[in-house]
Structure 1
Amino acid sequence: MAKKRAREADGATEAPDKMVEDSDSSDDEDFDIVNVDFEWFNFNEKVDFLGTKSLIRQLFDVDANLFDVSALADLILSQSSIGSTVKTDGEESDPFAFVTALNVQEHRQKKPISQLIEYLSEKAKATESLAPIPELLASGQHVGLILSERLINMPSDIVPPLYTMLAEEIQDAVDDKEPYEFTHYLIVSKTYHEIESTLAEERKKKKGKQDAALYYFHPEDEVLQKYATAYGSYPFTKTDDAVADSKRAFQEMGVMPMGSMILIEASKFAGAVKAVGEYLSPPS
């Protein structure tokens, strides 16, 4: 398993595992191999602000403007030993992925968390499968809000180490009497539907309306849902700000992103993390 650099607990500096990426090639037999070293780091307030902020915006898509994203990035960076960034060119480079867990109850008076509580509660109230979430967020229980995002072309192999190290760090923090003893974990993510371009509107009318299939930006979500108390997708508020249909005028299908929530009881989280590792880890 990959090792995280500069872990505060033990100062480990072991080199991470190497993941090999295949570059695009016009020939099925002749292709180039590009070696990429992925490294896991603690959050670093001096270098990770812009990269973390950018990934948060990607996670919340068109609704990111509803939050103080800068303040949320600062809050994430302030708890540097919980969660990780993934980089390819040393600690001073920009993160390509991150994961963190924020204590909703501990930070509920802070603007970025109060905004998120209100937003997620309203979305859950309008989505039947997410019905337990608003009451839980208002209950005063210690809910761990997991935020995780990565560049679209990042390999899913990086996900098991991210979640495994997160679970270990949370347990270490609990052992040190820090406020990370959660009753539940609420994972915020994204899904999408494929939608027909308006240029195909007449053909759509002839075929009749069909329910759009649901797809996952994060393949681990399909596994995490199996351990969930509640899960579901919801439409973004500012859908009018989405990419105009004219931008995909010559494509047969477009993509409609949606927000997603997965609620897992703390007692089931370790099993969920293990299952993600079994599903996404490369064969040995």
Structure 2
Amino acid sequence: FFDPHAGDFHAIKRLLQNTFGDDSEDFDLSQLADLCLAQPHGTTVKMDDDPGSDPYAFMTLISLKDHRESSAVVGQITEYLERKAPQGGVAKAEFAQVLRGDAALVVSERIVNMPPQIVPPMLRLLVDELGDRRFDHYIVLAPMYREIEALDEDDDDNEDGSGRQRKRAKVELDAYVHAEDEFVEEFAKIKFDYRFSRMKRVAEARNSFGDMGIAPSRRCLVVERAKFPGLLARLNEVLAP
């Protein structure tokens, strides 16, 4: 485990692309990477302490309140999340209040073959670095895979009489990409799913997955301050080496 440093800029920027998926083009990720590196907290995982080696995992917290006025990219993130919240009802109003308050975005990214067991020690290091600093809410953007089955139907009712086939998709399964997020959900005060605005591929077509397509999305999980210690204890319990 190592502190982030300037030489990690490009690797951290690449990892941040995973946080926002297909919509990463909507954000100034260079500015966000600089912000992450400028903070006095954050942890990386590397195979060795060579300054030239890239981190395999990265974790930090970004205060939406502290950087709201000074960082354009934090403004971009806040506006984006507000747009993605469910329209109307109590949930949207409650989430908007969270975004306006003392909330932190939890950034936790790693390469595919890194196990979830690295998460508890990274979180402990992060909490230690923060000292007495606590946030009212913690926002996790959990990557999801939605498994979709494509079904062919003969559309005999087309006005042009062509009888062309159309496809409709049936959602079969939602699965977390990061195993730890399943346990984060247990402590979430607010939860909602959203799709990318820039979805680069419609996953209903049959492909290398056989009859199933995989549609990436995100699940926003909000954990309030009082539940955060319980979440840390739960992750330590279920992800113990």
Q: Are 2:86 and 1:115 aligned? A: no
Return the offset for 1:90: 2.3
2:11 to 31, 51, 59: 51
The equivalent residue for 2:160 is none
Give the match's secondary structure for 1:219: coil
Of 188, 196, 219, the residue aligned with 1:236 is 196
Matched, 1:150 2:110: yes
User: Matched residues in 2 for 1:182 and 1:105: separation?
Assistant: 10
- Structure 1 residues not aligned, in runs of 5+: 1-39, 175-179
Correspondences of 1:1-284 after superposition (within 5 Å): 40-45=1-6, 47-79=7-39, 81-92=40-51, 93-109=53-69, 110-126=71-87, 130-131=91-92, 132-138=94-100, 141-170=101-130, 172=131, 174=132, 180-196=133-149, 201-202=152-153, 210-239=170-199, 241-242=200-201, 248-249=207-208, 251-282=210-241
1:113 is aligned with what amino acid? Answer: V
Q: CA deviation at 1:86?
A: 0.9
Q: How far off its partner does 1:190 sit?
A: 1.0
- 2-structure distance, mates of 1:127, 1:223: 27
Tell me how far apart the structure 2 counterparts of residues 212 and 250 of structure 1 sit (CA, whole Å): 14
Q: Cα offset for 1:250? A: 6.3
| Cα distance change, pair 272–264 in 1 and its aligned pair in 2 (3 A) | same
The one-letter amino acid paired with 2:237 is: E
Q: Which AA in structure 1 matches 2:96?
A: P
Equivalent position of 1:15 in the other structure = none
Q: Compared with structure 1, are the counterparts of its residues 202 and 127 closer, same or farther at alpha carbon in structure 2 (3 Å cutoff)? A: farther
Cα deviation digits, residues 43-65 of structure 1 (max 9, x gap): 112x1100100001122111000
- Determine the C-alpha separation between the residues in 1 that align with 2:182 and 2:90: 15
Query: C-alpha distance in 2, partners of 1:148/1:130?
Result: 25
5+ residue gaps, structure 2: 155-164
Contact kept, 8 Å, 1:146 with 1:185, in 2: the verdict is yes
Q: How many aligned residue pairs are there? A: 226
AA at the equivalent of 2:138:
Y
Report the CA distance between 1:211 and its aligned residue: 3.8
Q: TM-score, normalised by structure 2?
A: 0.85
Residues 82, 166 of structure 1: 8 Å contact kept: yes
Instruction: Percent identity, please.
Output: 35
Distance 1:150 1:231, change over 3 A: same
Q: Which whole-Å CA distance do the structure 1 matches of 2:197 and 2:169 have between them?
A: 24
Q: Deviations over 1:226-273 (max 9, x none)?
A: 11111122111111x237777935633221111221111112111101
Q: Aligned partners of 1:90, 1:42: CA distance in 2, in Å?
A: 10
Q: Give, in angstroms, the shift of residue 166 of structure 1.
A: 1.6
Structure 2 Cα separation of the partners of residues 166 and 233 of structure 1: 27
After the TM superposition, which segments of 4 or more aligned residues of structure 1 sit over 4 Å from their partners? 127-130, 243-247
TM-aligned CA deviation for residue 126 of structure 1: 3.6
The answer on whether the counterparts of 1:127 and 1:234 sit within 8 Å (CA) in structure 2 is no
Deviation at 1:127, TM superposition (A): 8.5
Root mean square deviation, CA, Å: 2.5
Q: Distance in 2 between matches of 1:75 and 1:236?
A: 24
SS of the equivalent of 1:237 reads coil
**Which of the pair has the greater relative contact order for Cα pairs under 8 Å at 6+ separation?**
2
SS of match in other structure, 2:121 = helix
